Every structure is written in structure tokens, then in C-alpha cells.
């Protein structure tokens, strides 16, 4: 066995390669001349140890490069320190990136709370969307879930609630006002109201709305912010609204129709995707966004940030959402559990060249 201990001095430790088996609690205990339990305490309840014992144990831990085996700890404590989150297939052809941005924030935030994020696939259209949750739950693979798609009369929340599975929703329980679970959401209506006020302040009077189909509660909510702002200034909204699917092509068509029928000088959209449709129409007609017609989107996607001349957009505070979600999660997993009510956050407006 080659001796290279002369190099092992100093702050950088020469950790042994893990090729064989990692050190266990017993190894640390033996090296430190204490019992296994003491080592366990050194890690989980350091204040129970005498200072000198603690340092001695700590030294052995460092020297051996010991880290508690997750599986063993999980088995014993009946917790995995993993948060499950379902992720659907990438949405291409749209500007939707909220979920991706949220995942980033969630990963960062949950790390600080000692959790990791486990991603699982959102099952194809054929499969039962609950299957993934069920599997992870029954096998105790995750401690809790973050549920993100609360928009449709989605069964997840109700189902998880029935199974008493700990979860926090990003999105309020639209269909079920007496839901008792924790949730965090962003006030979309406040966002569109902000956007509309911004346009009104810029001197616009005829401001059109393009949202999603009427069965979308989210879109109807965002729409209400637009009407609220318009009515507050005594301006009419009739003939200025359109409801279409969330695609660029739909936004393009809807804006063309609205320009012909109602001559708006500005558009507020339920998504950046729809707003990009408006930009297409403006280009088709040789109009310049921000000069001839103002446009505001929703989500502050990368698209909004880089498209010329910059798309003004409502920005959801996803970092804050993640923080609130993790806080709620910690409550749920505490002993005894604390079921927080809902948390509503306020979006901001990222103003760019299009308005």
C-alpha cells in the first residue's frame, strides 16, 4: 500500500476513494474510541456530547470522509428528505417556461432546508396521471409533493388530500374552495391590472385583452384584472376581448381580428405566447411594437426578455413562491404537522420596449 501521507497534511483532506465501501458509523466510532450511538449523537444531537468528545468524533468523521448512509437513515427515520415533483413534457412552440424557472428556484430553496428534489415523469396522455404519485407514495420514496398543475379540475390535489399525503400546491384550489391543503399562488389579476394601468398611464385608452378559453380559471382571473383597471377609469371593455387557445398562431389571428374590428392601441395578453402572436401580426402589417401598438405579455419568459424590442411582461415572483412552498412543506413535515393556509403573492411588471 503506497504511503503518501506526507501530502495529506493541511486543509485539503486526502479522502480515500470510494471504490470499495464507504465508512460506516461503526468505523468512525472505533477510530474515535466511542460507541456508535455517540457518533450518531455527534451528528444529530451535538449538544448532548461533551465538547472534547465531540471534537474527537468530528475529527474522525473528517478523517474518514464519513457521511451517513442515506438509505439506512431513511429506513430508520421513515423519511427520505426528498420532495417529489411531476414534470410534464417540455412545451415547445410556446413561450411557457414558468415551470422550468420554478424548478430551479425550488431546487435552490429546498437545498437550504435539507431537501432534494426528485423529478418524475408526468405520464403520457394514455397512462393514469396519478400513477406516478401513487407509486412514490406507497414506496415511501418521497416525503412530500409539490403539485403544480392545479388549473384544470385536476384530481391530484383532491386525491392526495384523501390519501393524507403531504403536499403543497403551487396554484390555488380553484374548483374546491373548501380545500384544506397548503398552497401558494400568485395574484394574476393584480398582475394584469398592473399591466393595464401601465398602459393607461402611457395614454392608451383602447386596450384589448387576449386570453385563453373560457374554461380556464387562471385566464378568467387575469382577465378580471384588465376589466377592473379599465372600469376604474370609466373605459369600456366590450368588443375588446378575445379568448383563444394558448398558441402563437391563435394570438396572431385574434390580434388581427381585434385590430380590424376594434382598433385597439394596446394589447394585454394572458401569456407571453399570445403576446408573441400579437408581435407576429404587427410584423405582418408593418407596425412596430412599442411605437404604433403596445403589447404586454405574462410570465416574463426568456422570450419576452430577448425578443426585439423587448416584451413588457408580468413577472411572477417564482423565487418567493419556492420559498413559501418550502416553508409550507417544512410545516407539513414537522411534528406535529402545521397545515398552513394559502399564501398569495403579488407579481411585478417588467417594462420593456413593447410598451
Partner DNA sequence: CTGAAAGCGCTAACAG
Partner DNA sequence: CTGTTAGCGCTTTCAG
Task: Quote helix, strand, coil % in the chain, to nearest 5.
Answer: 45, 15, 40
Residue 245 within binding range of its own copies, rule CB under 8 A: no
Size of the residue set binding DNA (CB under 7 A): 25
- What, of DNA, its own copies, none, does residue 55 touch, CB below 5 to 8 Å by kind? none
- What, of its own copies, DNA, none, does residue 53 touch, CB below 5 to 8 Å by kind? DNA
Site string for its own copies, 148-187 (x = CB under 8 A): --------------xxxx----------------------
Residue 41 within binding range of DNA, rule CB under 7 A: yes
Please identify which residue in 13, 44, 55, 302 interacts with DNA, judged by CB under 7 A. Answer: 44
Cell of 101: 424557472
Cell of 349: 411588471
User: Which element (helix H / strand E) includes 243?
Assistant: strand 241-244
Site string for its own copies, 27-66 (x = CB under 8 A): --------------------------------------xx
Cα dihedral across residues 277, 192, 97, 173: positive or negative: negative
Neighbours of 266 (CB within 10 A): 23
Closer to its own copies by Cβ: residue 194 or 318 = 318
Cell of 190: 393584480
- What, of its own copies, DNA, none, does residue 322 touch, CB below 5 to 8 Å by kind? none
Q: Is 197:233 a contact under the CB 8 Å cutoff?
A: no
Instruction: Please state, in angstroms and rounded to a whole number, the distance separating the CA atoms of residues 123 and 152.
Output: 16
Closer to DNA by Cβ: residue 23 or 173 = 23
Neighbours of 325 (CB within 10 A): 29
Closer to its own copies by Cβ: residue 101 or 204 = 101
> Could you identify the residue written with the cell 385597439?
264
Residue 24 within binding range of DNA, rule CB under 7 A: yes
Residue 37 within binding range of DNA, rule CB under 7 A: yes
Q: Least CB distance from residue 166 to DNA, whole Å?
A: 18
* Burial (Cβ within 10 Å: 0-12, 13-18, ≥19) of residue 92: exposed
* Burial (Cβ within 10 Å: 0-12, 13-18, ≥19) of residue 145: buried
Q: Which of 210, 239, 247 is nearest to 226 (CA)?
A: 210
Q: Given the rule CB under 7 A, which residues bind DNA?
A: 21, 24-26, 34-38, 40-41, 43-44, 48-50, 53, 66, 68-69, 72-73, 75-77
Q: Given the rule CB under 8 A, which residues bind its own copies?
A: 15, 17-19, 22, 65-72, 74-75, 78, 80, 82, 87-97, 100-101, 103-105, 107-108, 111, 116-121, 134-135, 137-141, 162-165, 248, 273, 276, 279-280, 283, 301-303, 305-309
Amino acid at each position: 500500500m503506497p504511503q503518501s501521507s506526507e501530502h495529506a497534511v493541511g486543509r485539503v483532506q486526502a479522502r480515500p476513494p470510494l471504490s470499495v465501501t464507504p465508512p460506516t458509523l461503526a468505523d468512525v466510532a472505533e477510530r474515535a474510541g466511542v460507541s456508535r450511538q455517540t457518533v450518531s449523537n455527534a451528528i444529530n444531537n451535538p449538544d448532548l456530547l461533551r465538547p472534547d468528545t465531540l471534537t474527537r468524533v468530528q475529527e474522525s468523521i473528517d478523517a474518514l470522509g464519513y457521511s451517513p448512509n442515506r438509505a439506512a437513515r431513511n429506513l430508520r427515520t421513515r423519511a427520505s428528505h426528498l420532495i417529489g415533483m411531476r414534470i410534464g413534457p417540455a412545451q415547445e412552440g410556446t413561450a411557457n417556461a414558468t415551470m422550468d424557472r420554478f424548478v430551479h428556484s425550488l431546487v435552490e430553496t429546498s437545498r437550504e432546508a435539507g431537501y432534494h428534489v426528485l423529478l418524475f415523469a408526468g405520464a403520457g396522455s394514455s397512462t393514469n396521471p396519478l400513477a406516478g404519485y401513487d407509486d412514490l407514495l406507497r414506496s415511501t420514496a418521497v416525503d412530500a409533493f409539490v403539485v403544480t398543475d392545479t388549473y384544470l379540475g385536476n384530481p391530484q390535489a383532491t386525491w392526495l388530500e384523501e390519501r393524507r399525503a403531504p403536499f403543497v400546491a403551487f396554484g390555488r384550489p380553484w374548483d374546491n374552495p373548501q380545500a384544506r391543503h397548503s398552497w401558494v399562488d400568485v395574484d394574476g389579476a393584480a398582475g394584469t391590472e398592473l399591466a393595464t394601468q401601465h398602459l393607461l398611464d402611457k395614454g392608451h385608452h383602447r386596450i384589448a385583452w387576449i386570453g385563453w378559453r373560457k374554461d380556464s380559471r387562471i385566464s378568467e382571473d387575469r382577465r378580471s384584472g384588465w376589466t377592473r383597471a379599465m372600469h376604474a377609469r370609466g373605459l369600456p371593455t366590450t368588443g375588446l376581448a378575445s379568448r383563444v387557445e394558448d398558441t402563437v398562431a391563435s394570438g396572431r389571428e385574434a390580434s388581427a381580428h381585434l385590430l380590424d374590428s376594434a382598433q385597439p392601441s394596446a394589447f394585454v395578453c394572458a401569456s407571453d405566447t399570445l403576446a408573441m402572436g400579437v408581435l407576429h401580426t404587427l410584423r405582418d402589417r408593418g407596425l412596430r411594437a412599442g411605437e404604433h401598438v403596445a403589447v404586454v405579455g405574462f410570465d416574463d419568459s426568456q422570450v419576452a426578455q430577448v425578443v426585439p424590442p423587448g416584451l413588457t411582461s408580468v413577472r411572477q415572483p417564482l423565487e418567493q413562491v419556492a420559498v413559501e412552498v418550502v416553508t409550507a412543506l417544512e410545516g407539513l413535515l414537522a411534528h406535529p404537522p402545521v397545515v398552513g393556509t394559502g399564501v398569495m403573492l403579488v407579481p411585478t411588471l417588467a417594462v420593456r420596449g413593447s410598451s
